[in-house]
A and B are shown apart, each in its own frame.
Chain A
Amino acid sequence: MSIAWYLAVSAIVFSLGAVGVMTRRNPLVVLLCLELMLNGGNLALIAFSRMWGNGDGQILAIVVMTVAACEVCIGLGMIVAIYRRQLPIDVDELRELQG
């Protein structure tokens, strides 16, 4: 298959993740949709890497995976902290930072 097909799949996955981030209200699912967006970026990176026959894109994809793991760690820690403080697990009702 030509590289363009992979790029199309990555665009579809990225937009699906964006739709999920905008519409879902559970912060757990919002984090999952962020993972979808990162995966769309990863697929595009690896496709471009294959296009040029160069390993830099794969290294960048591994770094993106590392950043995603860090984001999951911090995000899930925040969700557990929210749950411990008996606050609603809902991104629309968490408005303590609002003025």
Chain B
Amino acid sequence: MSAVLFFVAAIGVISGAVGVVVLRNPFFSVLALVAHLVSLAVLFLLLRAEFVAAVQVVVYAGAVMVLYVFVVAYVGGEEDSIGERLRSGASVGSGLRLGGAILGGALLVELLIALLGTGLEATSGYGAGYVAGPKAYGTPAYIGNLLLTRFLLVFELASFLLLIAAVGGVVLARRRGGIGEDDEHETFVALDVLRPRGTGTMAEGVGVGNGRALRADSETAPVKTGAGRPS
């Protein structure tokens, strides 16, 4: 049963990865990555890493991929435009593609030799013994115990890294004019709405409140509204 589940999940993982690399539209690439992540969570479950599998599905396939979908929708998800150009002109594009594929194949062979060709007998085994229980290997209680005792420093460093990344993301994606200077919208004074222009009130006479005061020397008067500000 676990062998069948392994092969189904492994086929899902590898086909999802191929889809990410091959598909032209970035939106479909993101969807392929979601399928890949869910299948990978099944593999994690088979390896008795329940908590990591749950985190993978909830955080990775849920939150991070939604962020990707938003950015693809915002940026427009254009196809590889320069790829078409290179392919129509010289054969540089296909040459690069071929070279990348050859290098990737070499990397795969090297990794397989390194991972499977080792003298470790344990890689051909089924793993260490496992006793089911509420605090067994891989359960949330086990992971939480490790994170808050042996790996407390790692945990705090990771949270600090997340804080830095959040601040960096906000700084990178902010509006270039800054947050305070919003030149597109005029400031809107409630006094202009309540009192129409040219009614001859005293406030209009001294040039307060209404930007276009009727006095000739209105330049010297304090202008409160944003109409006269250079944009």
Q: Which residues of A contact B (CB under 8 A)?
A: 1-20, 22-26, 28-29, 31-33, 35-36, 39, 42-44, 46-47, 49-56, 58-59, 61-63, 65-74, 76-81, 83-85, 88-90, 92-93
Question: Once the chains bind, are A3 and B125 in contact (CB under 8 Å)?
Answer: yes
Partner of A29 from the list B13, B26, B37 (CB cut-off 8 Å) is B26
Interface membership of chain B positions 49-78, coded 1 if the CB is closer than 8 angstroms to chain A and 0 otherwise: 101100110011000100110011011011
A28-B75 in contact (CB<8A): yes
- Which residue of A has the minimal Cβ distance to B107? A15
User: Size range of the interface on B?
Assistant: 35 or more
- The answer for the CA separation of A63 and B156 in the assembled complex, in Å, is 11
Cα distance, A69 to B112, chains bound together (Å): 28
What are 5 residue pairs bridging A and B, where the CB atoms are less than 8 Å apart in the complex?
A: A18-B103, A31-B68, A43-B44, A51-B128, A76-B68
* Besides the known contacts A7-B115, A62-B52, 12 further A-B residue pairs in the complex with CB atoms under 8 A apart: A5-B6, A16-B21, A19-B21, A19-B101, A35-B33, A43-B40, A50-B49, A52-B128, A55-B137, A68-B60, A74-B168, A90-B82
Q: Is the interface of B mostly helix, strand, loop or mixed?
A: helix
A61 & B49 in contact (Cβ 8 Å cutoff): yes
- The answer to whether A69 touches B30 (Cβ under 8 A) is no
Knowing A19-B100, A63-B154 touch, does A43 contact B43 (C-beta < 8 A)? yes
Q: In the complex, are the beta carbons of A80 and B104 less than 8 A apart?
A: no
In the complex, what distance in Å separates the CA atom of A12 from the CA atom of B6?
A: 15
Task: Please give the distance in Å from A52's CB to the nearest CB on chain B.
Answer: 6
A44, A51, A79, A80: the one within 8 Å of B122 (CB)? A51
Chain A residues lying within 8 Å of B99, measured Cβ to Cβ, are 22
Q: For B60, give the chain A residue with the smallest CB separation.
A: A65
Nearest 4 A/B pairs, CB to CB: A53-B128, A19-B104, A77-B172, A70-B165
Contact A18 B107 (CB under 8 A): yes
The answer to whether A46 and B49 have CB atoms under 8 Å apart is: yes
Chain B residue nearest to A69 (CB atoms) is B64
Asked whether B161 lies within 8 Å of A70 as measured between CB atoms, the reply is yes
Across the interface, do B138 and A55 meet the contact criterion of CB distance under 8 Å?
yes
**B47 proximity list for chain A (CB < 8 A):** 6, 46-47, 49-50
Residue of B nearest to A71 (CB): B165
Q: Distance in Å from the Cβ of B19 to the closest Cβ of chain A?
A: 10
Complex: chain A residue closest to B47, CB-CB: A50
B188 in the interface (beta carbon within 8 A) = no
Q: What separation, in Å, do the CA atoms of A76 and B21 have in the docked complex?
A: 18
In the assembled complex, how far is the CB of residue A70 from the closest CB belonging to chain B, in whole angstroms?
4
B165 contacts which chain A residues (CB < 8 A)? 69-71, 73-74
Q: How far is the CB of B215 from chain A (nearest CB, A)?
A: 43
Residues in chain B near residue A28, CB distance under 8 A: 26, 29, 68, 71-72, 75, 77
Contacting residues, chain B, for A13 (C-beta < 8 A): 13-14, 17, 36
